[in-house]
Structure 1
Amino acid sequence: MSLTADVIIIGGGVIGSSINYYLSKRGQRVIQLERNYFNSGASGSCDTMIAPNTKEPNEHLQLALYSVELYKTLSQELGRDIEYEKKGSLLLIENEDELHIMEGIVKKQNALGLNSRIIDVDETMYLQPGLNRDAIVGASYSEVDADVNPFRLNLAFADKAVSLGAKVFTHEAAQEILLRNGAVAGVKTNRDTYYAPIVINAAGSWAPIVGKMVGLNIPIKPRRGQTVITEAVPPFVHKLVNNARYIVGKHHPEMLKNNHSLKAQMGIAISLVQSKKGNIEFGNSREFVGYDTGNTYLCLRELLKNATRIIPGLKNLNIIRTMGGLRPYPPDSKPLIGFVNGVPGFFLAAGHEGDGICLSPVTGKLVSDLIVDGKTDVPAAPGFDPNRFDLF
């Protein structure tokens, strides 16, 4: 027998599950559909970072800072240990040009409320021993940044939503979005048909495919990231570690434009974390290769060269596996969150790129606010309106 709800969510990643929880918390009857199983997309092939320090000083950073506040009590709220831990993060600065740009970025971050600062080489190495002193000139440091277990997080959101009355169906692929007089009426899957006046597209990199079901051209592209995971070892990574080059490149793309190295072409950076069990994860790449999630020899070689150049001690560790995943990349690097003009009842919540874990709590709250109240106290929310793009 087909079910009726207030809202249907397409997508079982951390964004869809967070939305499910926050809507269920507000008393909405929710159905969540996932074509495979939880964490089968970006949420299961990502790092663990909650890192406002890596965000551009605009609406993106404001959203991240709001999410950080929600994270502080989330384990207690969900009734499960999501392995949230405040560690602080380092953006490693490799030359004087990067340093000059990062000084300006940090001032803008501070103005928006992030307590970040530029530190010298000695302090950088004190906070993260084992760095190659000759590879860096300093770092940007933020002590509020943290990490979390993405698998535990996603399941905690979904399970808590179910305890509040939500219905979750895995291995059910959306095949058709039903319309009545041009407005959303429900979703037909490979198993059943479900009815609701609101459908949320939280399908991540696959959001454009879902969008085509209602005639939309959603400007999100899958961008592959390749990652290396080592054996479990004693504490080795004490902070979240990233390259400043990534945020510098967003502000001054001309610095990377004429760099024709394989590292530049593949978007190689260091993104270094260590799990509670002791496994070290580092990467990653930024490659537009369609929906190919495979690992490649060339990319992994460049990842290893870059990582061991910066942290030579990684050479002594055994690699147990590699992985590839797709991040939903929007043209302006900001997620698309809101109702779509022209298709009443169709809501888009996708395009978080590599920030889905960091932004999942605030996205869930923002979506529930907009659907239940028609407004929100989340700062800069209009900046994520999907109608900033021509979707038809």
Structure 2
Amino acid sequence: MERRTATDPGPHPAPDPVPVPDRADVVIVGGGIIGASIAFHLAEAGVGGVLLLERDRPAAGSSGKPIGGVRAQFSDPLNIRIGLRSLEAWRAFGTRPGADIGLASVGYLFLLGDDTERALFEDSVAVQNALGVPSRIIGPAEAAALCPYLDPDGIVAAAHCPTDGYALPEAAVTGYLRAAVRRGAAVRTHCPVTAIDTRGGTLGAVRTPHGTVHTGTVICCAGAWSQEVGAMAGVRLPVTPLRRQIALTGPLDPPPPRIPFTLDHASTAYFHNDGADGLLLGMSDPRQEPGFARDFSREWLEPFREAVGRRAPALAGVPVRHGWAGLYETTPDNNALIGEAADVHRFLYATGFSGHGFLQAPAVGELIRDLYLGREPFLDAGPLAAGRFDGRTADAGEEGAGHDGTRPEAHII
């Protein structure tokens, strides 16, 4: 199957406003991949009166990035299990809910520059293997065989998992939402939430420029804007927006070989194929200040070229045709916020994924569905409750740990 080349999603003009219904059983705030997944999972479970509100268009925020990585290579059991569960769903997406998301299982390759990094990843791989992830530590020569751009003398080892890869987030959002609507959910775009009414810890209504929706349940999936949405209901969601940028080479001559999603652990510089004849480049710029800026700037390419030059010298001078900037929704420990507010009944949230929202979206949709319905979930997400930052946790077992005794740790990358 031919893959689509990544492009800037660009602005979309607002259509004529559509009035919101007077009442809904569940109001989902945010039409990115998390909100779309939750809408689908609720509607599939037979929940009626599901309404999703999006301030712009679906996937206009973080989910609009051209290509999203999918993996289970994490350092703690909780995130590994979420990644594994989601990978299963991404592979079956063509059947359920039924859409082509351009999934490419090219693998993930983490580059390790010294013995300390290798020891860290050896521990993580042991945990991953125990949970069924086929990751392993490989030597420099094998890593260079997988990714010919690498200089094997520039690393001591690499961590590789062949079942990881990437897909097209916007196609996934569209697939989830179309399936949700087929099952009875409603979607309103260009419809921002302006206020949330509560009284005595109980939700009453969600207000928008196109009408007021009376509801007893709100699910916040507003990504980088979640803190302000939570504040409308008196709920603290410690989410900070941070600009992240990617660059696109356009067609290269000769075309690049097919390579894994390749990341340098020390610098976070990464690169992978973009379509059949280009590359996508990215890195977390340590100089980036928090904020909502989404303009593309080439300044971060200087530290990227310096970092990639130590691992893949042939890419240090690769031309950049254009690029795109989006927002990460970061939390203090770079782990997601998933749960129900302690002080506002039926205010649920799934946000703060710190760059991992796309890869975790299918499993998160399941978790929020089960939380809403009171079902036993496939894992205890209690350690991801927002209360962990103010000394309160959800009812998640001993001192906020999961039922398997695990706690979320800072992500590797």
TM range (shorter): 0.7 to 0.9
Matches within 5 A, 1:294-305: 294-305=295-306
The count of corresponding residues between Structure 1 and Structure 2 is 368
Q: Which residue type is aligned with residue 128 of structure 1?
A: C
1: CA distance, partners of 2:66 / 2:386: 24
TM-score w.r.t. length of structure 2: 0.84
> Which structure's relative contact order is higher, taking Cα pairs within 8 Å and 6+ residues apart?
1
Q: Once the 2 structures are TM-superposed, how far is the Cα of residue 235 of structure 1 from its aligned partner? A: 4.3
1:81 aligned onto 2:96: no
Does residue 42 of structure 1 match 2:62? yes
Please tell me the residue identity of whatever aligns with 2:389.
Answer: F
Query: Which residue pairs with 1:330 in the alignment?
Result: 331
Which residue of structure 1 aligns with residue 382 of structure 2?
382
Is 2:66–2:170's contact at 8 Å kept on the other side of the alignment?
Answer: no
Q: What SS is found at the alignment partner of 1:227?
A: strand
The answer (yes or no) to whether the contact 2:240–2:290 under 8 Å persists in 1 is no
* TM-score, length of structure 1 as denominator length: 0.88
TM-fit CA distance, 1:63: 1.1
Superposition misfits of 4+ residues, deviation over 6 angstroms: none
Report the more deviating stretch, 101-110 or 337-346.
101-110
CA shift for structure 1 position 364: 0.7
Among 176, 188, 202, the alignment partner of 1:183 is 202
Q: Distance in 2 between matches of 1:226 and 1:316?
A: 18
Amino acid at match of 2:257: F
SS of alignment partner, residue 313 of structure 1: helix
Q: Is the 8 A contact 1:272 1:281 kept in 2?
A: yes
Q: Give the structure 2 partner of residue 154 of structure 1.
A: 173
**Runs (5+) with no aligned partner, structure 2:** 1-18, 393-413
For residues 269 and 237 of structure 1, the distance between their equivalents in structure 2, rounded to whole angstroms, comes to: 21
The one-letter code matched in structure 1 to 2:41 is Y
Whether the aligned pair in 1 keeps the contact of 2:256 and 2:279 (CA below 8 Å) is no
After TM superposition, the structure 1 stretch with the greater mean CA deviation from structure 2, 308-317 or 298-307, is 308-317
- Looking at structure 2, the residues matched to 46 and 15 of structure 1 have their Cα atoms a distance apart, in angstroms, of 16
Maintained 8 Å contact 2:193/2:206 = yes
Contact 1:269 1:284 in 2 (8 A): yes
Deviates more, 1:302-311 or 1:205-214: 302-311
Which is further off, 138-147 or 111-120? Answer: 111-120
Query: C-alpha separation between the residues in 2 aligned to 1:243 and 1:141?
Result: 12
Deviation string 1:133-176 (CA, Å, 9 cap, x unpaired) is: 23212201112212111111111111111111111111111000
Q: Match for 2:114: what amino acid?
A: N
Matches within 5 A, 1:127-206: 127-206=146-225
Matched residue type, 1:10: V
What is residue 51 of structure 2 aligned with on the other side? 31
1:238 and 2:237 aligned: no
Provide the rounded CA distance (Å) in 1 between the counterparts of 2:154 and 2:340: 46
Q: Would the aligned equivalents of 1:201 and 1:347 in 2 still touch at CA under 8 Å?
A: yes
- Measured in 2, the distance between the counterparts of 1:333 and 1:221 equals 10
8 A contact 1:226–1:300 mirrored in 2: no
CA distance in 1, matches of 2:66, 2:154: 26
Comparing 133-142 with 305-314, greater Cα deviation is found at 305-314
Partner of 2:314: 313
Q: Specify the alignment match of 2:404 in structure 1.
A: none
* Offset, 1:317: 4.5
The structure with more helix, counted as a fraction of residues: 1
Name the structure 2 match of 1:120.
Answer: 139
In the alignment, which residue of structure 2 is the partner of 1:285? 284
SS at match of 2:356: helix
**Cα 1:278/1:32, change in 2 over 3 Å:** farther
Residue identity (%):
30
> Are 1:217 and 1:391, in contact at CA under 8 Å, matched by a contact in 2?
no
3-state SS in 1 of match to 2:305: helix
Do the aligned partners of residues 346 and 32 (structure 1) sit closer, same or farther apart at CA in structure 2, a change above 3 Å counting? same
State the SS of the aligned residue for 2:355.
helix
CA distance in 2, matches of 1:99, 1:325: 31
Gaps of 5+ in 1: 246-267
Give the Cα–Cα distance (whole angstroms) in 2 for the partners of residues 95 and 327 of structure 1.
Answer: 28
Deviation string 1:223-275 (CA, Å, 9 cap, x unpaired) is 22121111034343421111233xxxxxxxxxxxxxxxxxxxxxx42222223
Match of 1:9 among 24, 28, 31: 28
Q: Secondary structure at the match of 2:22?
A: coil
In structure 2, the CA distance between the partners of 1:391 and 1:36, relative to structure 1 (3 Å rule), is: farther
Deviation at 1:213, TM superposition (A): 0.4
Contact 2:150-2:312 within 8 A present in 1 as well? yes
Specify the alignment match of 2:405 in structure 1. Answer: none
Alpha carbons of structure 1 residues 229 and 376: separation in structure 2 relative to 1, 3 Å = farther
Aligned to 2:346: 345
User: Distance between the aligned counterparts of 2:302 and 2:265, measured in 1?
Assistant: 21
1:250 corresponds in structure 2 to none
